[in-house]
């Protein structure tokens, strides 16, 4: 099936061949909706990593891997007479047109805030249409989202209905308040590990709120912090190796000195 340029129809045919009951690939044939979910998540993160590294020459390949996940789900749906790829395209097209009446209809919005408000109202109507018993703006937020992402999404939904601070100071005050509650638990003579974990969760949730109010993405912010720490720690490791030292044999003061130097070098 080799040719110079493949089309989407070719990709769908390749997927069908991989799932062929007789001549298909053994691995592909045994997959189901649930079994490929981890691969979908992994491919999405690989796309994000490629963009973060600005390795845009690798992006078509990574996006292709992610598209293949959608094609895989569509093939499974087709085999079970549930839906096919055209249904997927139809669903997303209808949603995009419905949520952008200012582009595809006669509605006019004068600000981004009005656009967002309309989108949230439309999404609420969609939730109600899918589940007539849905009573909360939080009803359809997936529980298996990364915790930081889910916290951010929960807070955005609450903010959309007015449940939010309008100024930054109380957001910051809340972090200190939650930290004080952690310290209060730690001072207890009979420490309750569940209570400590609960209070630590409140601290993280409050920090996500601060990040959101500053219009940043918590996953991206923490990813950046992870990358920065890793760069600096690798610099410390290299310096220790150059000096013939083992971190486990160094005092905290020595290690702090290496760390400070790494911060200077890495910025």
User: What pLDDT is attached to residue 165?
Assistant: 94
Separation CA 67–CA 47 (nearest Å): 11
Separation CA 131–CA 144 (nearest Å): 20
* Angle of CA points 224, 38, 79, to nearest 5°: 140
Cβ burial 3-37 (10 Å sphere, 16+ → b, else e)? eeeeeeeeebeebeebbeeeeeeeeeeebeeeebe
Per-residue tokens: 241: 């190796």
Separation CA 54–CA 115 (nearest Å): 30
Long-range contact set of residues 22-29: C-beta below 8 Å, sequence gap at least 24: 28/72
Checking if the pLDDT of 233 tops 90, the result is yes
Residue 52 pLDDT class (50, 70, 90 cuts): confident
Stronger pLDDT, 153 or 140, i.e. the higher one: 153
Residue 108 pLDDT class (50, 70, 90 cuts): confident
The mean pLDDT value of the chain amounts to 91
Separation CA 22–CA 65 (nearest Å): 25
Taking residues 139-158, report their average pLDDT.
90
Residue 2 pLDDT class (50, 70, 90 cuts): low
User: What pLDDT is attached to residue 112?
Assistant: 80
Stronger pLDDT, 260 or 145, i.e. the higher one: 260
Label residue 236 exposed, middle or buried (CB < 10 Å: 0-12, 13-18, 19+): buried
Taking residues 56-82, report their average pLDDT.
97
User: What pLDDT is attached to residue 15?
Assistant: 97
């Amino acid at each position: 099936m080799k040719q110079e340029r493949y089309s989407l129809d070719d990709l769908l045919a390749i997927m069908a061949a991989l799932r062929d009951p007789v001549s298909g690939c053994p691995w592909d044939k045994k997959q189901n909706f649930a079994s490929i979910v981890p691969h979908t998540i992994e491919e999405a993160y690989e796309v994000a990593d490629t963009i973060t590294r600005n390795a845009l020459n690798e992006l078509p390949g990574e996006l292709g891997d992610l598209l293949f996940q959608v094609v895989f789900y569509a093939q499974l749906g087709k085999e079970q007479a549930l839906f096919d790829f055209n249904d997927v395209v139809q669903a997303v097209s209808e949603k995009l047109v419905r949520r952008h009446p200012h582009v595809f209809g006669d509605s006019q919005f004068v600000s981004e805030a009005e656009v967002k408000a309309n989108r949230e109202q439309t999404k609420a109507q969609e939730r109600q249409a899918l589940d007539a018993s849905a009573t909360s703006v939080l009803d359809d937020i997936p529980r298996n989202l990364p915790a930081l992402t889910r916290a951010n999404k929960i807070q955005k939904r609450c903010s959309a209905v007015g449940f939010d601070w309008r100024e930054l100071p109380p957001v910051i005050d809340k972090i200190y308040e939650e930290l004080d509650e952690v310290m209060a638990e730690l001072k207890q003579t009979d420490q309750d590990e569940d209570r400590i974990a609960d209070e630590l969760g409140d601290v993280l949730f409050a920090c996500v709120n601060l990040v959101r109010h500053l219009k940043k993405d918590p996953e991206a912010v923490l990813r950046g912090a992870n990358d920065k720490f890793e760069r600096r720690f690798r610099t410390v490791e290299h310096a220790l190796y150059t000096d013939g030292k083992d971190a486990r044999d160094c005092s905290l003061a020595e290690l702090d000195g290496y760390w400070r130097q790494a911060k200077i070098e890495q910025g």
